[in-house]
Structure 1
Amino acid sequence: MKITRMPLGALQTNCYIVDNGERLLVIDPSAEPGAIIGKLKDIGLPVDGILLTHTHYDHFGALDEVQAFTGADVYMSDIETDWLTDISKNGSIRFTEEITSSVTPNTLKEGKAAVGAFNFDVIHTPGHSPGSLSYKFDDFVISGDVLFNKGVGRTDLYGGSTAELMHSIREKLYKLPPETTVYAGHNIPTTIGDEKENNPYVR
């Protein structure tokens, strides 16, 4: 599968487009809806779904526009559905203008999942936020703001927990094969093996 990474918005939050050659998934439509929609037009394939790793404002700022353009269903954790409309929980009241979404999402729980033509594993990885989900495909994982290239997600926002974050990384993400590519919510890709060897923040 082909992965397109688009760092967008003031925080350069990564939006990912997963392309199996016939269908697409959009993961975390973060900001700049025109840029995302333009890329989808360039690719020219139908979108089977829109996945959210979690619902901090910088990960869904373009959600309504992208959903309206694609007509695709939205999927996320049931723990955070109210964050789409709660500016204190999604953080937009603290950092920028108020950002909310009017979509009605479908919910995912840990385990096997299928969205259109795509099959993947849903891994509940709380710590950065209570409902953070990582999505594991054949040889890569999209980790949201849990595990970064030589970094980890912050835990000082609403519902954050350092203990939970460390557990999610050590007991879930670090159990994946070392060659697994990690596509995080910010910064460039890495691998599970590289992070196990070199990430200074995981203890």
Structure 2
Amino acid sequence: MKYLRYLDVSGNRMERLPDWIVGLSNLETLDLSWYQSLMELPRDIKKMFNLRHLIFEGCSRLTGMPRGIGELNGVRTLNRFVLSENNCLGRGGGLAKLGTLNELRGDLQIWNLRHEKDVMSESNVGRPLKDKHHLHSLELIWKEGEDVKAVDEEDIIMSMEELQPHSNLKQLSVLHYGGVRFTSWFSSLINIVHLTLWDCERCHLPPLDHLPSLKSLELRWL
């Protein structure tokens, strides 16, 4: 099966994929949709250098991303990016793995963000989403249940500051963010059509009069 280009294992019940799958070096599309038992990806996923589409819709138990995923520079679809408990933000690769994936397009969800100062700047990664001008929709999901009172407010805001998307973005969703205000880049999203803010209990609603393209606004549990 080494010449296989498309593989659909959606709805599977295994907790991890077999190691031999990284030998499918010609694979372009790996569909894992609603593979709800999946907890991790193969560590050597970087060997699948022809991958263009990694589809994770409904993979709710995924616990993190392997380090090598940042070397798959041709990936265009990666609709779910999960930060592990120990590798949130810049630590151990975390969001730094996204820094080189500038061909990403369509939708992207980032799970398990933390309200703490990022260390990406120390590794010269900067803002890993800013150059992704093909992204249409971005969903930022902070980890629930954190005691934000124990975190410096500037660090909380910085946890969002590092997530600045390209101004081409059309849809933005922010969930469980614990800061009292949004970051400066919010005013640059002049092409936003759909905006969703969920469970941002401490945050003051940012000014919306500079969003000329806005058509849909959803606010819950503010």
**TM-score, structure 2 length as denominator?**
0.28
Structure number with the bigger relative contact order (C-alpha 8 A, sep ≥ 6) is 1
- Please identify which structure carries the higher helix content: 1
